[in-house]
């Protein structure tokens, strides 16, 4: 992101993201309480996540597996030896007064992902580190949703001890669009691998932005500001754009940027100051004495790597390069794993990739949208869609007929060929029969025929319409056109 300043100084934004993702486990990171969203307050709690004296945390094996898988999916180096640490601070949503996190030996480091921007350009964003930690509880502010307006707060600890991974990016991001795309790509990757459901509204994916500005070409960093409280990709982009403009104005006015945390306010579309940033040393991290160090073997790593599916970035590229799809089509089809798997099953059943893409992105997409369904929910099996496409290619039905019978196939499934035959909808490609029908059409429309033969050739469409009406749209369009032309002119 750059802007032209009056003094002809151009500024750029330097952005790094911290993304917290809830791992899709059934139970908490160190105890057996459920992680399910939406339970009544304080139902999924136990002595361990509440930090009661005399309890000991025991790591959920799936948390380690999912964290390592996430690290592998993000091209990280997995630490063969890592550990948990205590991050200490006081806040009413933190029952133990410390959070079990990872400080100087995170489970994964030095990764990257490639993002693709709307113009098709790609960019590699570095990932500094990925670590495991436990979530805190949730504060419900009575009386007002602004912190300072409450007379008291209510605490629900259902989230306390829910497993998270925090993914910290390198400061490689330069605009709101890049940031939003980075988070979307992270979400896609984690959803593909079944590690996180990526639900922003339910808080399974949360994003903090670190942003500073500097004159373009400058190598050093400006003072960074942290922005929180964005719960959509759009909000991430707009918060960054707002904050960039705010910081440029401050710098141009000759003032200093204050290092602080700011909140994105959705209603007013601006960021507001929340608190001055604490130094990291104030957390007094130290190794968690209740949990021995974590070892990941080569064997575990190999097994977990083999369990990862093909990831969206690889699919996107393959769809463009192997199937010749456009950037837009490749993005749509690889966006969700269910969509990609359906698409690939249609191709595996013999369909042309472009034809499959067209059907999926038009009629089927709008059907799914209208009925709030996903690909696995529909009765139309990938093989049936391939069959339908084959019927068109073989000339058995026109694409118009195919569109007409599609709703029934989507609702009821079954064989496309059987349905076409049962409905007597096969295309008429028999030229003798077509010629006979054309003769009837001409006989029934003597006036139009005369006008046509006197030079009003745009009536051709009218005759095509009459013929289609007679055949219920079943006439082979190309053959019908050719024959009609011959008869009209002869």
Partner 1 sequence: MLKREEVQHVAHLARLELTEEEEIQFTEQLADILAYVEQLKELDTEGVEPTFHVLDMELPTRPDEVELYPDIEGILANAPDRADRFFKVPRILEGED
Query: For residue 156, how many other CB atoms are within 10 A of its CB?
Result: 18
Beta strand 81-82 with 85-88: parallel, antiparallel or unpaired? Answer: unpaired
Cα dihedral 404, 405, 411, 414 in deg (nearest 10): -170
Given candidates 190, 239, 294, 437, which one binds partner 1 under the rule CB under 8 A? Answer: 294
Given candidates 59, 257, 308, 449, which one binds partner 1 under the rule CB under 8 A? Answer: 59
# of chain residues touching partner 1 (CB under 8 A): 57
Q: Which residue has the tokens 């030996």?
A: 105
* 3-class secondary-structure state, position 114: strand
Helix (H) or strand (E) holding 165: strand 163-169
- Residue 19 DSSP class: E
- Token pair for residue 372? 């709030």
Q: Should residue 64 be labelled a site residue for partner 1 when binding is judged by CB under 8 A?
A: yes
Q: Should residue 52 be labelled a site residue for partner 1 when binding is judged by CB under 8 A?
A: yes
Could you give the string, one character per residue 11-40, with x where binding to partner 1 holds by CB under 8 A and - elsewhere? --------------xxx----xxx-----x
Dihedral pair phi/psi, residue 482, rounded to 5°: -60, -50
Given candidates 80, 120, 292, 324, which one binds partner 1 under the rule CB under 8 A? Answer: 292
Dihedral pair phi/psi, residue 383, rounded to 5°: -65, -35
- For the chain, the first-to-last Cα distance in angstroms comes to 66
Q: Which is nearer to partner 1, 34 or 368 (CB)?
A: 34
Could you give the string, one character per residue 139-168, with x where binding to partner 1 holds by CB under 8 A and - elsewhere? xxxx----xx-xxxxxxxx-----------
Query: For residue 458, how many other CB atoms are within 10 A of its CB?
Result: 9
- Give the integer Cα–Cα distance in Å for 330 and 335: 8
- Give the integer Cα–Cα distance in Å for 112 and 195: 18
Q: How far is the CB of 245 from partner 1 (least distance, A)?
A: 25
Q: Which is nearer to partner 1, 3 or 50 (CB)?
A: 50
Residues 185-244 that bind partner 1 (CB under 8 A): none
Q: Should residue 4 be labelled a site residue for partner 1 when binding is judged by CB under 8 A?
A: no
Q: Which is nearer to partner 1, 236 or 294 (CB)?
A: 294
Could you give the string, one character per residue 92-131, with x where binding to partner 1 holds by CB under 8 A and - elsewhere? x------------x--------------------------
Tell me which residues touch partner 1 (CB under 8 A).
Answer: 25-27, 32-34, 40-47, 50, 52, 58-64, 83, 88-92, 105, 139-142, 147-148, 150-157, 274-276, 278, 282, 284, 287, 289, 291-295
């Amino acid at each position: 992101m750059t802007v032209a300043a009056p003094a002809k100084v151009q500024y750029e934004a330097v952005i790094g993201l911290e993304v917290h993702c809830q791992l899709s486990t059934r139970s908490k990171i160190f105890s057996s309480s459920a992680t399910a969203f939406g339970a009544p307050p304080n139902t999924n709690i136990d002595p361990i996540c509440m930090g009661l004296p005399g309890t000991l945390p025991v790591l959920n094996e799936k948390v380690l597996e999912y964290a390592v898988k996430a690290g592998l999916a993000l091209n990280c180096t997995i630490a063969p030896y890592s550990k948990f640490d205590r991050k200490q601070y006081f806040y009413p949503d933190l029952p133990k007064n410390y959070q079990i996190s990872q400080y100087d030996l995170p489970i994964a480091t030095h990764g990257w992902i490639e993002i693709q921007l709307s113009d098709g350009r790609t960019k590699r964003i570095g990932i500094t580190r990925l670590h495991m930690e436990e979530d805190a509880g949730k504060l419900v502010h009575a009386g007002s949703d602004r912190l300072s307006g409450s007379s008291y707060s209510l605490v629900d600890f259902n989230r306390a001890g829910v497993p998270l991974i925090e993914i910290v990016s390198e400061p490689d991001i330069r605009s709101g669009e890049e940031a939003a795309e980075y988070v979307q790509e992270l979400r896609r990757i984690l959803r593909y691998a079944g590690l996180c459901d990526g639900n922003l509204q339910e808080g399974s994916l949360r994003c903090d932005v670190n942003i500073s500005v500097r004159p373009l070409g400058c190598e050093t960093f400006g003072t960074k500001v942290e922005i929180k409280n964005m719960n959509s990709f759009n909000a991430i982009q707009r918060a960054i754009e707002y904050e960039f403009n705010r910081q440029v104005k401050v710098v141009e006015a000759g003032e200093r940027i204050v290092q602080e945390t700011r909140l994105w306010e959705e209603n007013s579309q601006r960021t507001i100051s929340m608190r001055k940033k604490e130094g990291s040393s104030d957390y007094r991290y130290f190794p968690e004495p209740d949990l021995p160090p974590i070892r990941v073997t080569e064997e575990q790593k190999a097994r977990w790597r083999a369990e990862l599916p093909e990831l969206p970035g690889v699919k996107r590229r393959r769809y463009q390069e192997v199937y010749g799809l456009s950037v837009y089509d490749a993005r749509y089809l690889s966006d969700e794993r269910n969509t990609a798997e359906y698409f690939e099953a249609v191709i595996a059943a013999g369909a042309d990739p472009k034809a499959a893409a067209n059907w999926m992105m038009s009629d089927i997409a709008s059907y799914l949208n209208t009925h709030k369904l996903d690909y696995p929910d529909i009765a139309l099996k990938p093989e049936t869609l391939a069959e339908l496409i084959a019927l068109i290619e073989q000339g058995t039905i026109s694409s118009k007929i195919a569109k007409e019978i599609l709703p029934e196939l989507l609702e009821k499934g079954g064989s496309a060929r059987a349905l076409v035959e049962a409905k007597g909808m096969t295309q008429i490609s028999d030229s003798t029969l077509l010629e006979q029908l054309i003769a009837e059409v001409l006989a029934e429309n003597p006036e139009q025929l005369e006008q046509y033969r006197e030079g009003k050739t745009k009536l051709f469409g009218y005759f095509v319409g009459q013929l289609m009406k007679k055949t219920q749209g079943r006439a082979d369009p190309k053959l019908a056109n050719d024959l009609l032309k011959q008869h009209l002119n002869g």
